[in-house]
Amino acid sequence: MPYINVRVAGPLTGEQKRQIVSRITQVMEEVAGKPPSATYITIDEVPRTHWAKGGRLLEDPDA
């Protein structure tokens, strides 16, 4: 049973989430042979204020 966790900076729309889980599920079936009914996916929408890259918060200009 695959468990996949996707973390993104900021919110997603319902349609974006549907597409993400659909495509990930499809890849797991095609590449790993896992049935869609066995694939669990969670999406964590983390506020941009909680992310940093290169020593700078993503909310900062030029980050």
Domain span at 10: 3-57
DSSP 13: -
User: Residue 63: inside a domain, yes or no?
Assistant: no
For residue 42, tell me if it sits in a domain.
yes
Residue bearing the bigger pLDDT, 58 or 21: 21
Q: Which residues of 27-55 are buried (b: 16+ CB within 10 A; e: fewer)?
A: ebbeeeeeeeeebebeeeeeeeeebeeee
Question: Taking 70 as the threshold, does the pLDDT of residue 63 lie above it?
Answer: no
pTM summary value? 0.84
Q: Let me know if 11 is exposed, middle or buried by CB neighbors in 10 A (0-12, 13-18, 19+).
A: exposed
Please list the active-site residues. Answer: 2
The answer to whether residue 62 is domain-embedded is no
Q: What is the CATH number of the domain that holds 40?
A: 3.30.429.10
Domain assignment of residue 7, yes or no: yes
pLDDT at 8: 97
pLDDT value at residue 19: 98
Report how many domains make up the chain: 1
